[in-house]
Structure 1
Amino acid sequence: MAESRREPALVRHFARITDVGFAALTLVFFVAVALATGVRSPWQAAIPLGLLLGALLLVRRRWPMTVLLLSISGIFAYRLTGHWSPAGWIWPAAVAYFTAATTPRVRWVAAIGLAQLLYSAVDIRSVLDEDPTRFLFHVAGEGVLLAILVAAGLLHAAVTRWRERLRETDSRARAAEERLRASHEVHDIVAHTLAVVGVQLNVAADTLQEDPAAAAAALRLAKDVRNRAMTDLRSLIAVLRDTPGDTAPQPDLASLGTLVADARAAGLEVTLDERGDPAAVPAVPAVAVYRVVQESLANTLKHAHASRAEVTIGYQPRAVTVEITDNGRGGGDVTEGHGLAGMRERVSALGGALSAGPIPGGGFAVRADIPVAGSAV
């Protein structure tokens, strides 16, 4: 069962104003036409009918078919009591017909309209002998008006459904993007944590007998890295649940030192060279820079068998250039797994480009150019 969507307050206010406007126009036009066609005592029937038709329009959105039937009943009562209808049979209920035609019961609306047209033709049959042209124009005009109202209602309903489908499509696309972003975040956090913790556990296992102090230090570092990863994951899950309370901020450029320290503690000699002003980088590209460095160092620890890595970041007015190189096994074909693919998608989403591959003389390099001008904060 589809959930009913509550419209924004501005849309609801505009709808109410529109209904009041239609109600006022119905009353004014009906009475004005009555006076123009010679009705002498409008308070006896014309004004009460106009008030009824207008008042019904105030609830046309909630009960469209009821409003249509009551409007037609009012018009019939007006005519059956011997009063001349100065505006025909269909026009006084025009808004009611249009509104009812936007509902799934449009076939009933057409049937009701045709029945009213037939009665209108019978009601004015006395004109047929005196003025056939007038009779023809009256019946044809009422029929064309009814067709226009039903067609307009159908078109309005189709446009409304199309807009609803478009909103649902956009919502699904945003949800998919959010899931993809979350998967990238989780992958980066877990990959970095496993790489560092795995190295420290190996260190602890190798030194447990010979150097218990070193083993204990390695285990403490592994525990610290694990705790930071758990904090990041809890923060990410809380953001996805739209519960901003007790959430830690997303990692930023100030956290790069922690990444480098973790890699160094895992036995990798890492140098960090930052050029320019990192304070001018907005939050979104800053997170991308952090994740590129994090994933690259994690890959170096897990796969490259490297002893040294260099991280160079250039902060420029319109872009940030990130380059990570190592002296590990860089030869052979590059198999792009989830890590590299995630980095490439993250950078591409910001309008940047990422390249990765072996470098001459041995080793591996990752380079990302991430625009910052006009980035959303």
Structure 2
Amino acid sequence: MAVTFPRRVPAPVRHSAGLLDLALALVTVVGVVTGIMAAEVPGSPWDGAILLALFLGALVLVRRRWPMTVLLLSIAAIFAYRLSSDFEGGWIWPASVAYFSAACTPRVRWVALVGVAQLAYAAVDFRWVLDKNVPRYVIHIAGETLLLALLVGAGLVCAAVARWRGHLRESESRAQAAEERLRTAREVHDIVAHTLAVVGVQLNVAADALDDDPAEAAAALRVAKDVRNRAMTDLASLVGVLRDSPGATAPQPGLASLGALVADARAAGLEVDLVELGDPSAVPSAPAVTAYRVVQEALTNALKHSGAAKVKVTLGCGPRRVTVEVADDGRGCGEIVERHGLTGMRERVSALGGVLALESAPGGFSVRAEIPVAGSAA
């Protein structure tokens, strides 16, 4: 993965980067002038030292856009100054920021090659010291080499951190996309499964009553049509919101829509007893939608699988949690196999920190969910 300095970044990050570059430019100017003066180069600093420092500092301001160009121009300026003066204070350190910036890019090998070439030239240029002071020569070249290695190493670390952050962002994006697909799948499953269950029952009623009681068949078809229309409206709302704002949560039915849900189940032939404890209107939207979907899936299972005749829905709305219990008198089984519906129900409840309990016995099937209300102690 290529590591480059981004040209378009959020304004706060861009401003912070600009301030950092300005600070590094000032440090470069002050450091170069101070280093040259400390080396006691003959002549006035205005003969070239200050101009070199200002030029290197100005290059730092554009290091993010042209890192390799900044490095090469910095080295060329240092060469020009060295050839026109008696400065002997080093080759690498005046271009420290330029070396680091270029080492953060994928061209780090070229950076190392340029640095080694500069060190080789410095070793040859400084060879006259060998006859007078060998330790000074060794310390000088070794120090320059160590500084170059540190700058390149720091650039490699910076590039590795940038790659790690990029991979982390990609992982987060993939996780968010997977969660969005899962959420959409749960919504579509809840809507379609309930609709097909109710419509299927009504169509069976219509088919059985078509010859003997056309009025009853027509009534069953009207109920199936109404349920189908509501499902199409819900799906259109879901798709529309996802298209306009994929990260948003589509408007969904809450506890206020339980009446229509129970009415559909009753129209499909279930005897449903709804008991509401507390104030459903005080329940926040997230637990309200989850409670609605639990009831919807439980009623759908009662219609499709359990062969139940009676279902009792108990809704408890408290300040700390919402409890939902749906119990039917259908045929139970010893082992519960969680398919898409039950799995989606459990995932919804768990996402809010709640607990879902399923119980199946010969006397019926029951679902109980406890859903904490956000901001309260569970």
TM-score category by the smaller chain?
over 0.9
Q: Is the 8 A contact 2:273 2:311 kept in 1?
A: yes
Judged with a 3 Å threshold, the aligned counterparts in structure 2 of structure 1 residues 118 and 248 are, in CA distance, closer, same or farther, namely: closer
Equivalent pair of 2:330/2:364 in contact (CA under 8 Å)? yes
Q: Equivalent of 2:308, from 283, 306, 309?
A: 306
Distance of 1:263 and 1:224 partners within structure 2: 13
SS at match of 1:59: coil
Post-superposition shift, 1:126? 2.1
Report the equivalent of 1:152: 154
Contact preservation (8 Å) 2:331, 2:361: no
How much has 1:190 moved relative to structure 2?
0.6
Select the residue among 283, 295, 306 that pairs with 1:293: 295
CA distance in 2 between partners of 1:242 and 1:140 (Å)? 61
Gaps of 5+ in 1: none
Describe the superposition over 1:36-76 as per-residue Cα deviations: whole angstroms up to 9, x where unpaired.
43344222211111111111111111111111111101100
Name the % identity: 68
What whole-Å deviation, never above 9, does each CA across 1:77-132 have from its counterpart, x for those lacking one? 1111235254x210110011011111111111111111111111222222222222
Deviation (angstroms), 1:248: 6.5
SS of aligned partner of 1:164: helix
Report if aligned partners of 2:322, 2:371 keep a CA contact under 8 Å in 1. yes
1:202, distance to aligned residue in structure 2 (A): 1.5
What is the total number of aligned residue pairs between the two structures? 370
SS in 2 for 1:351: coil
Counterparts of residues 1-377 of structure 1 (less than 5 Å): 6-39=8-41, 40-84=43-87, 86=89, 88-243=90-245, 249-359=251-361, 362-374=363-375
Structure 2: stretches of 5+ with no match in the other structure: none
Distance 2:309 2:83 in 1: 100
State whether residues 22 and 95 of structure 1, in contact with CA within 8 Å, keep that contact through their aligned partners in structure 2. yes
Show CA shifts across 1:156-212 (max 9, x none).
Answer: 101110111111111111111111111111111111000111111122222223333
RMSD (CA atoms): 2.1
The 8 Å contact of residues 256 and 281 in structure 2, kept in 1 or not, is answered as no
Cα distance between partner residues in 2 of 1:8 and 1:279: 40
- Give the 4+ runs in structure 1 shifted more than 4 A: none
CA distance in 1 between partners of 2:245 and 2:31 (Å):
54
TM norm structure 1: 0.92
Counterpart CA distance in 1 for 2:321 and 2:161 is 43
Q: 1:45 to 1:221 in 2, by over 3 A?
A: same
Report the alpha carbon displacement of residue 343 of structure 1 after superposing the two structures with TM.
Answer: 0.8
What amino acid is the match of 2:291? V
Amino acid at match of 1:158: A
Shift of 1:220: 1.8
Residues 241, 250 of structure 2: 8 Å contact kept: no
CA distance in 1, matches of 2:139, 2:339: 75
